[in-house]
Chain A
Amino acid sequence: MFYRLSGVYHTNYISDSRIYKVPADRNLALALLVLGVAAPFIAPSLYVNSYMLPWLIWTSAALGLNLVTGWAGQLHLGYAAVMAVGAYSAIHAARFGVPWEFALIIGGLSASVIGSLFAFAALRAKGLYLALTTLAMQFIMDWVLTHSPAISGGSHASLQAPTLKLLGQEITSDTGLYYVALAWCLLVTIFMLNLKRTGLGRALVAVREKDYAAAILGVHSFYYKIVAFAMSSFIGGVSGALLVATFFFLAAPEQFSVAVSIQALAMVIVGGLGSIIGSYFGVALILLVPGLVNGVVVTASEQLGMQINVETLAHIPNAVYGALIVIILLIEPLGLGKLYGNIRDYLMVWPFDQLRK
């Protein structure tokens, strides 16, 4: 009923490799896009600038991480370090006078170079060993940031970003910044959607499943691993730069610490490895739910007139949030993306499949 499959059949390869094979999916995506574009006019400004904007940027970053972890199957524990490289090089470039458009690209490219440099070292190691190598990258980056005032910006290591300026326009309003984030997230999403159906995407999947089996098929796994690291680092670098340019307006080492790397990985895992819609859900859960639950608990206790100690009040949301993650992973170990997939599958031919039962 919701997904009209009648008349949907593919007679050639091009039609079969469409992004949206069922029109309903495409319509849903379009409706969400319209909502996304209209958000600044329909949603309260608080939601736009402190929930949706970071959500979009982190989703782009998570998609980048999903590329290397979900598609190419390489566990990455130093993603925040890659984002830091992007953020710091873009800001330094912008402070130096380079236009923001190029500064962002410089950020992406330098993140890409550093990211794949570590990938080289990492490629001799696999699985958990690789994870530890990327973790080492994170710690090296932390050390560099806290020990080189020239990079981190001196006093208490904070580096102010110049005002974001794109295509000659200074972007300062909440709406403008939101659209920048939306545009970048859309770009990354479209790239990822298309990646799935290219030879490159299939090669990455082959490498993920078994790298020497891929080699037997003629897929050069070494090359594709490097490409995956480089692409994901580029996305991470630009996302990191945009995170600072549109949200924090100032870069500090704590914004890219090891805890953030773990969070990013959690976003991808809770969302679902290799799932695009899952990345959106995963970021929402990891990034936004703690604040939202906190708000709900505080409001509830205030409205009910409960006299709760501030410290207890701060820990209840943490417990709820932790429980939420455990429950979700218990219900569906493959993440929120799969959970969505299950609902979609159930509704696919609903209610006609009920007739058979």
Chain B
Amino acid sequence: MKLLSTVTTVAFTTMLALGATEVSAQDKEPVRFGLCFDLSKSYTFISPQVAQAAQDLAKYVNSNGGLEGHPVEAVVRDHGNEPQRGVECYEQLKREGIFIFNFLSTPVTNAVLPRVMKDGNILMQSFVGRGDAVDGDVFKWVFPVGPTYWQQAANDVAFIKGQMDGDLSKAKIGFIYLDYPFGQEPIEILKTLAEKEGFQLELYPVPLPGSDQSGAWSKIRRDKPDYAISWLLAGGHVVAAKEMRRNGFPIDRYLSVNWLNEVDINNIGAADAKGILRGTNVAGGQEVPIVKTMLETYYAKGEGSGPESLVRDVYYNTGMAIYSVGFEAARLAIKQNGWPLTPESMKTAYESISDFDGNGLMAPVTVTASDHGGGGKTRVEQWNGETWVPLTDWSADYTDVVWEIIKESSAKFTVK
């Protein structure tokens, strides 16, 4: 009997809640974004920050008139980094009428990609999935706004060139990477650039999960590269920092991929990490206008969508960047083609985004029908012991070389 009464109570409350949401729903239909994230397994070092940024931004947009009057809704689900569950999440949200998705996981994005392409829905996949998806001629429905790993690596080389007075012919660049597709991706472009610029490239593979790097770093000690470009993740940076200290490699010659955040810095030790370099397309720190606004409007009053510590993390800025572009595209779509928002109008709007930088939040992006990446600009920032200091201006270099690789790779995608 007790069980029965509990069930009745739950059912009754549910009915009440349902009624309540109907009454409080806004007059205009919402724009809904599907966030099928890995919130419980491998990507937890980034997904909570991004989800929180999306929710905060949605809240902020809604309290400021919405997107052309339509409220935004971020629907967050967990897929535990399992391709099977990612597909399930996609199929479920698709049936609920959502057509803008982000999976924030390479395996899941890859698994869903064929379905998205077939159904003609919008797939946001900044920083995850295949790099060649920036080729809008092939991947019509995919919008990986941001730099590809190829472009990041190329920009890193350009930065090093700048630091070495424009001459790389005598330089030696080390590339330390996790020995699986994420880390291997830049190798091809680095080799091409080594040939072009005449620098010596040394490869230092590190086995997953990156906790054992002693072999790689003792080799680095012998080779003495001028810079070490690093394609490691999370804890990998901490181990690398330890090894750098042990092997006498200066930490200000360690140039990381965009996946290096305050959590890693704290694990290295904020003071010890002073000087570490990071290539990024998103401005770090809390002085960025939108992040500052969020801290003042919500977190100062304890009304944020999650803990404040996650806001003081560069991945929160990354999430802000991903979703300010997404929301901007939706706004443009409604402005250009009115309601209802469709995948087609969303695609057209995305492709009309020009020189958008989210008010100093990120590298300005210009998305076109053939370049869905937005130009791939990044800059190098340095940790000064307290925050990120930009060393260069936003730029994208060697784009011709990068696009050659993109085109070569994307040409293999289409099959009958």
- B-contacting residues of A (Cβ < 8 Å)? 45-46, 49-51, 54, 95, 146-147, 152-158, 160-163, 247-250, 252-255, 287, 290-291, 294-295, 298, 300, 303-305, 309-311, 313-315, 317-318
Q: How far is the CB of A59 from chain B (nearest CB, A)?
A: 13
Q: For the complex, is B295 an interface residue (Cβ under 8 Å from A)?
A: no
Q: Is the CB of B85 within 8 A of A291?
A: yes
Q: For the complex, is B293 an interface residue (Cβ under 8 Å from A)?
A: no
Cβ contacts under 8 Å, A318 to chain B: 40, 80
Cβ contacts under 8 Å, B198 to chain A: none
Q: Which 7 A-B pairs have the closest CB atoms?
A: A314-B39, A314-B78, A254-B107, A249-B114, A50-B91, A155-B409, A50-B88
Interface-located stretch among B125-133, B221-229, B392-400: B125-133
The residue on A at minimum CB distance from B52 is A310
CA gap between A156 and B48 in the complex, in Å? 24
Q: Is the CB of A146 within 8 A of B180?
A: yes
Cβ contacts under 8 Å, A309 to chain B: 306-307
Q: Is the CB of A162 within 8 A of B415?
A: yes
The residue on A at minimum CB distance from B76 is A310
A156 and B115 in contact (CB under 8 A), knowing A290-B85, A304-B14? no
Cβ contacts under 8 Å, A294 to chain B: 77-78, 85
Cβ contacts under 8 Å, A314 to chain B: 39-40, 78, 80
Q: Is the CB of B130 within 8 A of A155?
A: yes
Cβ contacts under 8 Å, A95 to chain B: 415
Q: Is the CB of A155 within 8 A of B132?
A: yes
Q: Is the CB of B77 within 8 A of A248?
A: no
A161 touches which of B181, B185, B409, B415 (Cβ 8 Å)? B415
Chain B binding surface, main DSSP class: helix
The residue on A at minimum CB distance from B179 is A146
Chain A binding surface, main DSSP class: helix
Cβ contacts under 8 Å, A147 to chain B: 179, 184
Q: Is the CB of A154 within 8 A of B87?
A: no
Q: How far is the CB of B184 from chain A (nearest CB, A)?
A: 7
The residue on A at minimum CB distance from B55 is A310
A157 and B78 in contact (CB under 8 A), knowing A254-B107, A314-B39? no
Given A51-B88, A248-B111, A311-B48, 20 additional A-B pairs, CB 8 A: A54-B87, A155-B130, A155-B131, A158-B110, A160-B114, A160-B413, A162-B415, A163-B416, A248-B87, A252-B107, A252-B111, A254-B83, A255-B111, A287-B84, A291-B89, A298-B77, A310-B37, A310-B39, A311-B39, A314-B80
Within 8 A of A (CB), among B159-184: 179-182, 184
Subset of 26 A-B contacts with CB under 8 Å: A45-B95, A50-B88, A54-B87, A146-B180, A147-B184, A156-B130, A156-B131, A156-B182, A158-B110, A248-B111, A249-B114, A249-B115, A250-B111, A252-B107, A252-B111, A287-B84, A294-B78, A295-B92, A300-B10, A304-B14, A309-B307, A310-B37, A310-B39, A310-B55, A313-B78, A318-B40
The residue on B at minimum CB distance from A306 is B17
A158 touches which of B10, B51, B80, B130 (Cβ 8 Å)? B130
Tell which of A157, A253, A255, A318 has the most Cβ of chain B within 10 Å. A157
Cβ contacts under 8 Å, B115 to chain A: 249
Cβ contacts under 8 Å, A162 to chain B: 415-416
Q: Is the CB of B17 within 8 A of A156?
A: no
Cβ contacts under 8 Å, B384 to chain A: none
A303 and B91 in contact (CB under 8 A), knowing A154-B409, A156-B185? no
